[in-house]
Amino acid sequence: MVLDGVQDPGNVGAVLRSADAFAAREVILTGACADPYSPKCVRASMGAVFRLPVRVAAHAQAIGLFRASGIPLIAAMPDKGAADLRRADLRNAAVVIGSEGAGVSETLRCACASSVCILMPGRAQSLNAAVAASIILWERARQEG
């Protein structure tokens, strides 16, 4: 899981908690993300920040890490051109969750092999970053069995 510019420490902490719950291997924070060790983030993570590998990296460094390891990046985007999350293969991939306001940065979007979206039959245009990440982490865990 990659968080790109998620600034709210409550959201970062909630993603870390979900990443821990769904056995993510690591969470990488890039862009202007909240400090994962701030009191609000630690509290929201329910201590997951201490049980899960968390790395802070610049965009270029994060992209380089994934390219070197052969792990494809997938952008989570509420976009008509994105694949339905339920049909996307998330195994052995890293999903990028963008900031609440701007979404995935252009730098990371260009480095992504594909994009996925969570279909929402209701009227909301998007989900909170932590909620979207949790749904994606659950789907990835389901696919990995």
| pLDDT tens-place string over residues 56-97 | 999 999 999 999 999 999 999 977 789 999 999 999 899 999
Q: What is the mean pLDDT of residues 15-38?
A: 96
Q: What is the mean pLDDT of the chain?
A: 94
pLDDT tens digits along 98-127 = 998 889 999 999 999 999 999 988 998 888
Other Cβ atoms less than 10 A from the Cβ of 70: the count is 7
Task: Kindly list the domain boundaries of the chain, sorted by start residue.
Answer: 2-144
Q: Which of 34-38, 41-45, 78-82 is the least confident region? A: 78-82
Q: For residues 63 and 78, what is the distance between their CA atoms, to the nearest angstrom?
A: 22
Given a cut of 80, is residue 50 above it in pLDDT? yes
Q: Which residue has the tokens 């694949």?
A: 83
Given a cut of 80, is residue 38 above it in pLDDT? yes
What's the CATH class of domain 2-144?
Answer: alpha beta
Tokens standing for 45?
């993570």
Given a cut of 90, is residue 34 above it in pLDDT? yes
Tokens standing for 67?
């390219």
